[in-house]
Chains A and B, each alone.
Chain A
Amino acid sequence: MTEILFYSFAFIAIISAFFILFTNNVLHAALALIITFLGVTALYVFAHAEFLAVTQIMIYVGGIVVLIIFGVMLTNKAGTSHYKTGSTHRFMGAVVAIGAMSMLIYGILKINFKAIERVGQGGIEELGVGLMTGYVLPFELAAILLLVALIGAAVIAGQDLKNTENK
């Protein structure tokens, strides 16, 4: 039963990913991206990575896709054909994609999965303690990076506002 569910969710994720590749409509692609992310979320759940699954929903579906949709909708109108895209640089794209895929396959084949110990069930506690002890430096660095990005965005947006006020 679990295997059937696992493979059906994987199938959904792959199908919607292919849909993103082959559709011309940016908005439909963004909505298919939601389905891909939710499919991957389900795979995380089957891998007992509950926290990762919920984080995936919160950040990728609730944050990033919403931003993409916002961008598409603010620049286009429904019913018009402006949001159609084509594909360019097909050859280079194929080379890069095949290269990345062969690297991934090579890496996955090299991992000895049996040697990896399974850590905890949900693992929120271990994760929290780990973030505050062993991995505190990367954690804080990421936080500073985000803060810098936030301030930068505010400054850039503020400059624009000042210019319009001066006019």
Chain B
Amino acid sequence: MSTILFFLPFLLVFTVLAVYAERKLSAFIQDRYGPMEVGYYGILQTVADLLKLLQKEDIVPKAASKKLFLAAPLLIFIAVFMGFSVVPVTSGWTGASIHTGVFFLLAIISLDVIGIIMAGWASNNKYAVLGAIRSASQIISYEVPLTLSVVCVLVIAQSLDLQAISYQQGILITSMDPQAKNYLFGIKALGIDITDVGGILSWNIVRVPFLLPVWIIFFITTLAESNRAPFDLPEAESELVSGFQTEYSGFRWSIIMLAEYGMMLLTSLLGVLLFFGSWNTPLPNVGVLRLADWTTGVPGSWLGHGWTMFWLISKALLMVALQMWVRWTYPRVRLDQLMTLGWKYLTPMALVLLFVCSVWRLIMTW
């Protein structure tokens, strides 16, 4: 329960730094410098922007539906932030202790559509309404392949609890269940026991190689879920001004941005938790070099907290960097292309992969 003490300040710091990182990254990709004026190498640029945003007047359009207009950004942020409640931070520091963690996360994230539709409709502006409708249809249609790709991992893990899924992917598997064993590629029949080796070999993506295409589907759908390029149609500047956020200014607009970056972080964390070994170290135990033991620590000790938090957060930040890289490399897709991709390609592919993963699960315990 106490993970809010970590996630709330972390999310604020993350957003400030991620906006800076995004501008720098986009600048490097486009062969320019990006912000250079404020502070050393422009590092305080976002702080200056934030101070400017907070001083701006909180404008509510006269024809808008006032109460809904004011409440919508908070609703979007609350829906995204509630998703963090089930995410573990370290091996000894878990989120809310519910057995249906992943299911809860997916359910609660889907509520941000309500906030987005409310924001677009309450603005009483055609661009905002169009943006909101696009955003809602996009989020609803991409939730299907997203959920299917998550279910692929759940079939392998046989658990809905994010912390249990985390423990399975490393050397600490025996501390959950002393009888549990990890085999190479998850297959018992191969006879290569890697319970004590750990490291990258016990991550889900290596345990079940078929999870790599599943992860690609997951990654594409999370880009669409957080409304980012190449799926940023709801805020396509050239056609819709800024979509559902057109009429927002100052503090409320920054809350919407906070929710967007929170969504990026949350989906990155979820991707790492499910596919890339959660808070487990990538280094395996090799003979006398107990690299995995050294870089995991005992759950609950300071070293254990430090290492596992370091691995989880740094992996998640790498995923965020990947999302930014994609954003500044690929052009935006058209709306019909977006729907075609979601329904005609990703959903059937995810269904086939779900079948493959179920078969793999049967082979694992042969």
Q: Which residues of A contact B (CB under 8 A)?
A: 27, 31, 34, 50-51, 54-55, 57-58, 61-62, 65-66, 69-70, 73-74, 77-79, 121-122, 124
Contact = CB atoms under 8 A, between A and B. Distances in A.
B64 interface: yes
A54 B147 CA distance: 14
A79 B68 CA distance: 11
Contact of A69 (B64, B65, B117): B117
Interface of B: 63-65, 68, 98-100, 103-104, 106-108, 110-111, 113-114, 117-118, 121-124, 129, 132-133, 136, 140, 160
Nearest to B143: A62
Given A70-B117, A77-B124, A124-B99, A57 B129 contact: no
Contacts of A79: 63-65, 124
Contact of B114 (A51, A54, A69, A74): A69
A27 B71 CA distance: 14
A55 B108 CA distance: 10
Contact of A62 (B64, B98, B113, B124): B113
14 contacts: A50-B98, A51-B99, A51-B103, A54-B103, A55-B103, A61-B114, A66-B113, A69-B114, A73-B117, A78-B63, A79-B124, A121-B99, A122-B99, A124-B100
A111 B45 CA distance: 65
Given A51-B100, A79-B64, 8 more contacts: A27-B65, A27-B68, A31-B68, A50-B98, A55-B103, A66-B136, A78-B65, A78-B122
B138 to A, nearest CB: 13
Contact of A73 (B63, B106, B108, B121): B121
Nearest to A65: B114
A61 B111 CA distance: 7
Contacts of A121: 99
Given A57-B108, A58-B103, A73 B64 contact: no
A100 to B, nearest CB: 29
Contacts of B110: 58, 62
